[in-house]
Amino acid sequence: MSKGVKTLDYAAQPAFRRYRGVLSAVAHAGLFAAAFFAAFGIYHNFKSFDRWLVPFLLPLLPLVVGIKMVVFWRMQQFRGTWRYVGMRDMMSIMMATHISAFFFILAFYLFVNFYPEFLNTRPQFPKSVFLIDWGTTIAFVCGARLVVRLYHEELGHSDTEGIRQCLILGAGDTGEALLREINRMKGARYRVLGFLDDNPSKQGMRIHDVSVLGPLKDAARFCEQLEIDEFLLALPNARQRVLRDVVEACGGLNVRFRTIPAMEAVIEGKVTVSQIRDVDIRDLLGREQVKLDEQKIRAHIHGKTVLVTGAGGSIGSELCRQIAKFEPSRLVLLEQAENNLFEIDREMERRFPNVPRGVYVADICDARRVDQVLAIEKPATIFHAAAHKHVPMMEINPGEAVKNNILGTRTISDAARQHGVARFVMISTDKAVNPTSVMGCTKRVAEMYIQQLRQDSDTQFITVRFGNVLGSSGSVIPIFRKQIAAGGPVTVTDDRMTRYFMTIPEASQLVLQAGAMGHDGDIFVLDMGEPVKIVDLAREMITLSGLRVGEDIEIKISGIRPGEKLYEELSVLGEDMGKTTHEKIYVWRNKKEDWARICSLMEKLVGDADELAAVDVRERLCEIVPEYRPEILGYENATPDRSAAAKENMATDSKSDIATGNLKVGDSPAT
C-alpha cells in the first residue's frame, strides 16, 4: 500500500517537476546551440551567413551539442535547481565548459585529419570560434539560470500582505547567506531593509543591494526610524553580552528577535528560512562550546559500567546523554520518579540503541535496594545527581531535605565504597557556599561526608559544584516563560538578586571532565562566568517575546522567599581555589574538619529528621556547618550559641561585602 501511495503522490505532481531533469537537458541543448550560433555570428558580425552557416555551423552543430551534453550530464549539471543558482554552480558550469571546449577542439582536429577535404572545400575556418564559443556557452548557461533566480526572488512573490520589515544583525558571511536565502524563498515573508554590523569597514557597503546602515548600538534608533518588526540575528561568533545589549536597548519597542538553529548551516545550505525561530534567552546567556579532554573522559567511561542516580532529572538525564557518547559497556539509570525514568529510558533506546542499559526505580535512601542494585550491576563509576533542589520547598520541608540530600548521599556513597566502585562523583551546588537555605546546607553536609570517606577507601570521591542551569525543571526561565504566555505579571523576588547560569549540556560535560580529573575528596567548582540580574533576565525575556515591559507585561517584585540569597557566592570559609588543567574547572583546597564530630552530629540529625521541628533541624545544621546563616533571613533561635551582636555583625558584614563587590573568589564573609 505504501508503494501505491508514493505512485499516486508522484503522479499528482506537476509535469515540470516530474520531468525536471529531461526539461533541463532540453533547455541546455538549446542554449548550447544558441551559444555556437552566437560564436560564429560574433566573429562575422552576424553578416556573410553564406560563409559560415551552411559550411560550418550546421555540420558541426550536432558534434558540439553532443559533446557538451555528455560532459554536462556527467558533471550532473542537469540535476540542479536553477532558482538556487550560486557561485559554486557558476564554477561548475565553467569547469564543464572548459572540458567541453577541450573535447570539441580535439574532436574537430581528429575529424579534419581523417577527412582533410572538409576544410579544402570550404572557406577558411575561424579558429577564434573555439574561444568565442567557450565564452558564449558560459554566458548563456549562467545567464539563463540567473534569470530564473531573479524571477523567483524579485517577481515570484509580489503579494506584500503580511510581509515583516527586518534588519539583519551581522553583515558577515552568515548575514549574506541569510539574506540570499530570504531572497530566493517564495514563501519568506520578510523585507530586509538593512544590515547592522560593528565592523567599520563594512558600514556603508551594499550586500545584494541592501545597505549596511551602522553599528549594533544604533539598533533601537533604526528600529524606530524604519518601523522594524523583527531583528534577524546573524552573529554566530558574537559574545552573548553584545546580543544582550542590543536586546536591552530595544526594550519597549515591540520588536521580535529571531535566529536560525545553527547559523553556519545556512551557509552550507542545510536549513531554510522556514526554520527561522524566535531567539531564546539561552541564546543570550549561553557561552562558547566547552573544550573537553575526551581521551581522559573516555578512559574512565568507555567499556565500563556507569551508574547515574537521579537519571530522570534535568542534570541526570543530560549526564546519561553525554556518557552514552563515550560508549560505556553498560549505563545504569536509577531514579525514584517513575515517569521521568520512563522518558529518559525511551530516549536512550531511540538515540543510543547500542548502549546496554539497566533501569531501576529506586530511592537512594533505601539502603537494601541500593545495595541490591550495586551488587547486580557492579558499576565502575557513579554520578550522583539525585537530590531535592528547590530552595523554598525545602524550607517548608527541612526534614525531607536532610533525608534525601544527606541520608541519600550517605547511603549511596557507603554502598559505593563497600562494592569497590572506582569513582564516585557527586553533583553539588553553589548554594552550599556559606548557605542560607536548608537545601544549600544539606548539600554542604553531603559534601563534607563524602570527603571524609577518602580516608579509608579505595574509591575516589569527587564533588562538583555549579550554579543554576538554564531551562532545568522548576528553574526561573520556564517559570518566566509560562508567566509571559499567560499575560503576566512576571514575578521577581528582588530587583537586586543575581545568579550564575550555565547550560545543561555545558554543566554535564564539565561534570564528566571533573570526574575524570579528580581524586582524594576534591571539590571542583565550574567557571560560571558573570552573574546575571534576575530582573534583567525578566526584561530580556519579555522583549524577546515581542512585548513591552510595563505596557504588555508587568514585572512584579514579590519579595525574597525563605532560604534565598540576593547574591550567590563562590567559596566557603577556609578554602582556597586552585587551577586545574582545564580552564573552566577550579579545585578547592579544603580546611581540615573534625570528622568524628561531624559524623556523630550528622548521624543524630538523620536519625531524628522526621521528629524534629523545622527550627530544630536548622539548629542541628548550624552545629555541623558553622557558616550556615539562617538568621540572615530572620529565623530566630536557630543558633543559640551565638550572641545577638555577633549575629548582627555577621549578617551586616556579609551583605555589605557581597553588595559592594568586595567579596572575591576565594574570600568569605566575615563571621
d(CA 63, CA 609): 95
Q: Which of 337, 344, 360, 339 has the alpha carbon at shortest distance from 415?
A: 360
State the Cα–Cα distance between residues 479 and 474, nearest whole angstrom.
7
Cell reading at 517: 580529573
Catalytic residue among 68, 403, 431, 565: 431
**431 annotated active-site:** yes
Q: Cα(428)–Cα(414) distance, rounded to whole angstroms? A: 18
Q: Count Cβ neighbours within 10 Å for each residue of 378-388 and write b for 16 or more, e otherwise.
A: ebbbbbbbbbb
- 172 DSSP assignment: S
**H helical segments located in 160-279:** 173-184, 219-225, 240-249, 263-267
Distance CA(599)–CA(427), nearest Å, equals 20
Q: What residues are paired with 195 via a beta bridge? A: 168, 212
Q: At 670, which helix (H) or strand (E)?
A: none
Q: Kind of pairing, strands 498-499 and 532-533?
A: antiparallel
Q: In which element (H, E) is residue 622 found?
A: helix 614-624
551 contact partners, CB below 8 Å, separation of at least 6: 252
Dihedral, CA atoms, 514, 517, 518, 523, nearest 10 degrees? -40
Q: How far is residue 639's CA from residue 185's CA, in Å, rounded to a whole number?
A: 68
Residue 513 and residue 420 in contact, taking contact as beta carbons nearer than 8 Å: no
**Within 13 Å of residue 423, how many CA atoms lie on the same side as its CB?**
25
User: What is the residue type of 641?
Assistant: D
Q: How far is CA 546 from the centre of its chain?
A: 22
* Residue burial 598-634, b: 16+ Cβ < 10 Å; e: rest: bbebbeebbeebeebebebbbbbbbbbbebbbbbbbe
| Residue at 116: amino acid letter | P
Number of other CB atoms surrounding residue 481 within 10 Å: 16
The secondary structure of 327-367, three-state, reads CCCEEEEEECCHHHHHHHHHHHHHHCCCCCEEEEECCCCCH
> Could you please report the per-residue DSSP string of 50-103?
GGTIIIIIHHHHHHHHHHHHHHHHHTTTTSS-GGG--HHHHHHHHHHHHHHHHH
* Angstrom distance (rounded) from CA 176 to CA 183: 11
Distances (CA, A) of 145 to 28, 31, 36, 188: 10, 11, 18, 21
| Residue 396: half-sphere exposure toward Cβ, Cα within 13 Å | 5
Find the radius of gyration of the CA atoms of the chain.
Answer: 35
What are the residues whose beta carbons fall under 8 Å from the beta carbon of 408, sequence distance 6 or more? 363, 364, 365, 386, 387
Active site residues: 431
